[in-house]
Amino acid sequence: MSATTRRLLLCGAVAGPLFVVAFLVEGATRANYNPLRHPVSSLELGDSGWTQSANFIVVGLLTLAFAVGLWRALRPFGGSTLGPVLVGAHALGLVGAGLFITDPVSGYPLGTPDKILQATTHGTLHDLVSIPTFVGWPIACIVLAVHFLRWRKPGWAVYSAATALVFMGAFVLASMGFSQVAALVDLGGLFQRTAIIAGFTWITLLAVHLLTTTRD
């Protein structure tokens, strides 16, 4: 493995912990923000919202670099091109989420309605560019799970498939919560964080696995 490929994979190992720590700290210190109820994107709102926007963009670029490293690392094994492309789409979605600010939801910031009836242009674009992130991520897990089976790595195949299932289930529940389904609205943020942490843990561990097991 070349030094360039290793540096690109290292970006993937760093991206997840950076993103999660940043939004956990920001969410814990923001007035009137409830991490169990409110989405991560809502941290873009308010005077210090630029910190979460920067978090999206920086981590998106790191993940994009990882996608290139993933393609380079898997290429000698006849690896999937689709998997790295989907990880790259997820990364671009993160960058887009940082460029376009979300609309308020679930009563944050304080004084805003639980659900905006007329979305702003920025809010609409934020939702649209986020689609590759929340769709590409679990599909990438499934695609690579199939390849791990082919490469006789059943543990990684099962883990990748399980990550996809956890991600999709948690994302659906989070979406229902943000849509103000009464039984889930107070837990929308928790379910979204479950999906995000599951996805980034997979990326982090995959990057470390390739860095430590793939020989020159």
pLDDT band at 114 (very low <50, low <70, confident <90, very high): confident
Q: What's the CA gap between 104 and 186, in Å, rounded? A: 15
Give how far Cα 206 sits from Cα of 126, 168, 173, 175, 188, Å.
Answer: 28, 19, 26, 27, 27
pLDDT at 151: 86
Q: Is the pLDDT score of 104 beyond 90?
A: yes
Q: Is the pLDDT score of 54 beyond 70?
A: yes
Q: Is the pLDDT score of 38 beyond 60?
A: yes
Q: What's the CA gap between 65 and 12, in Å, rounded? A: 7
Give the burial string for 171-206 (b: 16+ CB within 10 Å, else e).
bebbbbbbeeeeebbebbbbbbbbbbbbbbbbbbbb
Tell whether pTM > 0.85.
Answer: yes
pLDDT at 203: 97
Domain count, the chain: 1
Domain interval for residue 190: 3-213
